[in-house]
Structure formats: structure tokens, C-alpha cells
Amino acid sequence: MTFKDLGLSAALVKAVEEKGYTKPSPIQEKAIPFILEGKDILASAQTGTGKTAGFTLPVLHYLADTKHPKYRPLRALVLTPTRELAAQVYDNIREYSKYVNIKSAVVFGGVKAKPQIATLKNGVDILVATPGRLLDLHDQKAVSFKRIDVLILDEADRMLDMGFVRDINKIISFMPEKRQNLLFSATFSNDIKKLASGILKNPVSVETAPQNSTAKKVTHQVYKVDKKKKTEFTIKLIKDNNWTQVLVFTRTKHGANKLTEKLIKAGVSAAAIHGNKSQGARTKALKSFKDNSIKILVATDIAARGLDIPLLPHVINYELPNIPEDYVHRIGRTGRAGAAGEAISLVCSEEVEYQSEIEKLLNEKLNSSIIAGFEPTDTAPPKRAATQSKGSFGKKKKPGSSKVSNGSKPKNKPHFKANKTSGSNSGRGRTSAPKKKRF
Ligand code: AMP
């Protein structure tokens, strides 16, 4: 199957070939023909599957195929949860529309609205936007949704998590009834199903293989370490392994700032990205990380979705997320486009339950080690300790496994010379697809 076989125009095929895509990804192969037919789509799509081209290419095909009046009304709208994802989707649209007569733009908050208003005034065919800023611009009459033909909700679950449901419904209320709707989501909670049933008409369900080939290449490693030792451990991990591009996730914005400061103090170039940073700082941090002028990007879950950092080799969970699905999104930043990736998690006694929830979701025990010099001494709170003894770190505890041991050899490549594996987990070190929350 080629892009041409999917029915896309020669101009679009040329643009994707220039990007180096030799054949459509599974989601593109499945979704593009339906979208070209004008069907509504409900797509289960993890990041890294090529979903952006999956919805962009057929929409561009449709838009380029119709006559453009002198003033171009907005006909296609892509809503995304984060500014970074909006910018990334827009970059893709620009690349794919290189050889077609289509005007595109992006709008999001945190930056001046005036230039966005000026761009919209000139007429735009396809707009990428975050919901809040888009509504502001609509209130100012800088944009109209009356001629929308196609609405795309990207990372719809994240938009709901971020509280955008009212904004989305309000935006939709200004649109014509007759339009095509494409909804992409990584997970399918009841709220997403409710949103989908209110928007989509006779949708075709498009599901990519539960386990995409990129995620298969991610190895997982847990290091059990006390909370107060995590910073020192992270610095050692990065320095000992000479890592040059690592995305580190913290649970809080404050935690991200603190860790960034400490990394810089230790001579490791780093920047933080989270919701309290100005948009200028967020854009700069991401750009410096992508062009390798800094080694470490410390992020909250704002960066867990959608961001495409080609060939990112390492993700460190400085703290485990309390929502197990977020682990899957975080680690999805590595192991993309067929490359191998490593997901490392630092787990202290308080996080044992989180690890256990993640393992349940992945249906797999994570390979777990203790490093000499960083042996955990904190004990878990009583309730959590009980959970741990049920096997959070392994089905059956080996005697002495809570201390440094010469347990089974890790399948994962050791990060330290004195790397010791503990626990009785399988050491498969590879994830299988989340078994839950799929449709
Ligand atoms: P996405 O899931 O849309 O974020 O895309 C993930 C990555 O896959 C991006 O770097 C895309 O440029 C890349 N990509 C998308 N479609 C293809 C394809 N058919 N062949 C190779 N790479 C692709």
C-alpha cells in the first residue's frame, strides 16, 4: 500500500515522500480512505503512530480539491490540548501542504493575540488551536465557525482532563450541523464516550494495533531509591551514562523547577517546561532540547502528550505519575519511529502503589533494581507496605530482596557498573499494550 493507493493527490504524495515516509502507517492506511469518503471517525490512536498525517493529509486533499473564494472562510479546525502540540500539528500541516494552495495558521494562548487576529483576517483554510484562545478570538469576532466543514479533536482525552469540555461544546455550538467530525483519543473513558456520542454521527471506529511497533522497542527499568536521594541519583545516572538527551518527568511544577536548578548547579544543562512558564520560555526550552543545546528537559505531564522529539533515547520518571495511563503517555515520548528507547523510573516507598497500578495497566512487572550507595531506607506507610508485600515489586519476595542483592541478571542494559537487580519480576523489560481503557 502506498500513499498514492490511498487516493491522495500527487502534490500531497510528493510532500510526504520528501519527508521520507515510504509507506502509510497502520492508522493512516485505515483512517485516510474513510476520511476521504467524508465519514466521521472515532480513532484510538496513541502518539507516535502517525495520526497527525492520518487526519491532516485527507483534510488537505479535500480542502485543496475545492474552489477557493477570494476571501477564504475557515473550513477545517483542529483542536489540541496544549500549545506545544498545536504548534507541532501546525508545523506538520505546513510541511504536508507545501505543494497545495492551502492557507493554514495556529493560535494558542500565552502569546499576543494581535498577530493572530491579523493572520485570521487574511483568511485561513485550516486552523490549529487550543480551545481557550480560540474562544477569546471568537468573542472578539476575529474568527467565524459558520463555514466549518471538518472538525478534528486531537488528544480528546487530554482536553477533557484539562477541563476543556465546556469550551469545546461552546465552539461546536457555533458550527453548522452538517460537517465531518474526527475524534482522536488515546483512552476511552465514559466522559470521552459521552463527548463522542454528542459530536460524531455514525462514526467508523479506527483502532491501531494495540501495541504499536515503536512502543515495543521501549525497555523499562525501575530503580528503588529514597525520595531525598532522587536528585543525586538522577545526576549520577545522566553523568555515568553520558546521556545527552533526556526528558525527565516530575509530578509538580515546583518539583520541575527545583530539579532543573539542581541539575544546572551540578553542571548538567537543563530547562523546565510546565504550565507556569511563559509561552516564550516553554517554546525556548523545547527548541533548545530538540536542537541539543541543552541535555535535559524537565517536564510536568504537559509534555507527556503528543510531543514528537525524534529519536529521543531516554525518559526518566523522577516521580511516577499517579494516573497509570500517564506513564504510557510519558514513555511514548521515547522509542518513536522504530527507534529503541529507555524508560527509567525512580520509585520511592511512597510510590509503590503507583508502580503497582502501572504494572496492572501494562499487565507486566517492571524490571526493578537497587543501586549500591542508594539502597532505600525509607519504609512505606503501613497501608502501602501491605500492598507492597502483596507483590508490587515481584510476585514473591526473595529473602533479602529489599537489600542490594545479586538477584537475577537484568535483561535491560545496566546503567551502572554496580548495577544490582532485585525483586522477582520477570525482567521482560518490555511493555505490552495497555489492556484497559481501549475500545
Ligand atoms: P504522530 O503520531 O502524528 O505524532 O507522528 C509520529 C512521528 O511519525 C512523526 O515524527 C511523523 O513525522 C512520523 N510519521 C508519520 N507518518 C509516517 C510514515 N508514514 N512513515 C514514517 N514516519 C511517519
For the stretch 433-436, contacts whose Cβ atoms lie closer than 8 Å and that sit 24 or more positions apart, written own/partner, are 433/210, 433/211, 433/215, 434/187, 434/210, 434/325, 434/328, 434/361, 434/362, 435/361, 435/362, 435/363, 436/361
Beta bridge partners of 344: 221, 316
133 and 186 in a single domain? The answer is yes
The total of structural domains in the chain comes to: 3
Residue ID of nearest Cα to ligand 1 atom 5: 50
C-alpha 245 to ligand 1 mean position (Å): 20
| HEC letters along the chain | CCCCCCCCCHHHHHHHHHCCCCCCCHHHHHHHHHHHCCCCEEEECCCCCCHHHHHHHHHHHHHHCCCCCCCCCCCEEEECCCHHHHHHHHHHHHHHCCCCCCCEEEECCCCCCHHHHHHHHCCCCEEEECHHHHHHHHHCCCCCCCCCCEEEECCHHHHHHCCCHHHHHHHHHCCCCCCEEEEEECCCCHHHHHHHHHHCCCCEEEECCCCCHHHHCEEEEEEECCHHHHHHHHHHHHHHCCCCCEEEECCCHHHHHHHHHHHHHCCCCEEEECCCCCHHHHHHHHHHHHCCCCCEEEECHHHCCCCCCCCCCEEEECCCCCCHHHHHHHHCCCCCCCCCEEEEEEECHHHHHHHHHHHHHHCCCCCEEEECCCCCCCCCCHHHHHHHHCCCCCCCCCCCCCCCCCCCCCCCCCCCCCEEECCCCCCCCECCCCCCCCC
297 and 233 in a single domain? The answer is yes
Residue 377 belongs to a domain: no
C-alpha 21 to ligand 1 mean position (Å): 8
Residue ID of nearest Cα to ligand 1 atom 21: 21
C-alpha 19 to ligand 1 mean position (Å): 9
118 and 257 in a single domain? The answer is no
C-alpha 340 to ligand 1 mean position (Å): 15
Q: How far apart are CA 289 and CA 309, in angstroms?
A: 9
The predicted pLDDT at position 434 comes to 31
Residue 182 belongs to a domain: yes
229 and 364 in a single domain? The answer is yes
* Ligand 1 closest atom vs CA 23: 19
Q: Which of 207, 226, 250 lies at the terminal end of a domain, its last residue?
A: 207
- Which of 28, 52, 90, 94 for a ligand 1 pocket mutation test, highest count of atoms within 8 Å of Cβ? 52
* Ligand 1 closest atom vs CA 337: 8
Overall size of the chain counted in residues:
439
Residue ID of nearest Cα to ligand 1 atom 20: 21
48 and 196 in a single domain? The answer is yes
65 and 202 in a single domain? The answer is yes
C-alpha 53 to ligand 1 mean position (Å): 7
Q: Which of 355, 370, 385 lies at the terminal end of a domain, its last residue?
A: 370
What domain range is 411 assigned to? Answer: 397-439
Beta bridge partners of 127: 77, 105
294 and 407 in a single domain? The answer is no
The predicted pLDDT at position 201 comes to 94
Residue 166 belongs to a domain: yes
268 and 152 in a single domain? The answer is no
Q: How many CA atoms lie within 13 A of 366 on its CB side?
A: 29
- Which of 1, 5, 8, 25 for a ligand 1 pocket mutation test, highest count of atoms within 8 Å of Cβ? 25
Residue ID of nearest Cα to ligand 1 atom 1: 50
- Which of 308, 309, 312, 333 for a ligand 1 pocket mutation test, highest count of atoms within 8 Å of Cβ? 308
Angle between helices 131-139 and 165-173 (to 10 degrees): 40
C-alpha 184 to ligand 1 mean position (Å): 15
Residue 375 belongs to a domain: no
Q: Which of 353, 370, 387 lies at the terminal end of a domain, its last residue?
A: 370
C-alpha 125 to ligand 1 mean position (Å): 23
199 and 89 in a single domain? The answer is yes
Residue 380 belongs to a domain: no
Q: Which triple of cell numbers denotes residue 305?
A: 502528550
Angle between helices 324-331 and 352-362 (to 10 degrees): 70
239 and 315 in a single domain? The answer is yes
Residue ID of nearest Cα to ligand 1 atom 15: 50
Residue ID of nearest Cα to ligand 1 atom 19: 24
Residue ID of nearest Cα to ligand 1 atom 12: 50
Which are the contacts of 391, defined by CB distance < 8 A and separation ≥ 6?
397
Taking the mean position of all CA atoms in its chain, how far away is CA 60?
24
The predicted pLDDT at position 402 comes to 33
43 and 174 in a single domain? The answer is yes
Residue 72 belongs to a domain: yes
Residue 376 belongs to a domain: no
44 and 155 in a single domain? The answer is yes
Residue 379 belongs to a domain: no
- Residue where the block lists cell 503507583: 354
* Ligand 1 closest atom vs CA 25: 19
Q: Which triple of cell numbers denotes residue 4?
A: 498514492
The predicted pLDDT at position 162 comes to 85
CATH classification at residue 36: 3.40.50.300
- pTM recorded for the entire structure: 0.76
Q: Which residues line ligand 1 (CB under 6 A)?
A: 21, 24-25, 28, 47-53, 308, 310, 336-337
- Which of 12, 21, 56, 212 for a ligand 1 pocket mutation test, highest count of atoms within 8 Å of Cβ? 21
C-alpha 85 to ligand 1 mean position (Å): 14
* Ligand 1 closest atom vs CA 48: 2
The predicted pLDDT at position 212 comes to 35
Positions of the chain with pLDDT under 50: 210-214, 384-410, 421-439
Q: How far apart are CA 356 and CA 280, in angstroms?
A: 38
C-alpha 337 to ligand 1 mean position (Å): 7
The predicted pLDDT at position 388 comes to 36
